[in-house]
Amino acid sequence: MGKKGAKKHMKRKPAPKLWPIPRKEFVWAVRPSPGPHSFENCLPLCLVLRDILGFAETRREAKKIVAAEKVLVDGKVRRADDFPVGLMDVIHIREVEKTYRVLPSP
């Protein structure tokens, strides 16, 4: 019997070049869930909080921040740490009252 559905795991090497992550430091990367932006043009919310903005050291910390409903994407509370964030999305972090606009560049 074959697999059903999309892949659930992703290694860092084949990750889109848009993602500003070190390719050879660790093995695994967060795979974004299906959503409003295409796979090649989005960043997972966890990756943004941990690797780009520096609000978390690990994925576990980023998950706790997102689960506590402290992060809004385009004005809506997002509870999934793998939510795809793309071009011109607005990320607001309630805890520190900071707002960021996503403008990815390769």
- What is the structure's pLDDT at 6? 84
In a 3-state reduction of DSSP, which class is residue 29? strand
The CATH number of the structural domain formed by 10-101 is 3.10.290.10
* % pLDDT > 70, the chain: 100
Q: In the chain, where are the structural domains located?
A: 10-101
pLDDT in tens, 12-34: 999 999 999 999 999 999 999 99
**Which parts of the chain fold into alpha helices (H)?**
45-47, 59-67
With 0-12 CB in 10 A as exposed, 13-18 as middle and 19+ as buried, what is 75? exposed
Residue type, 49: L
pLDDT in tens, 86-97: 999 999 999 999
pTM, two decimals, is 0.89
Residue 84 has pLDDT above 90, yes or no: yes
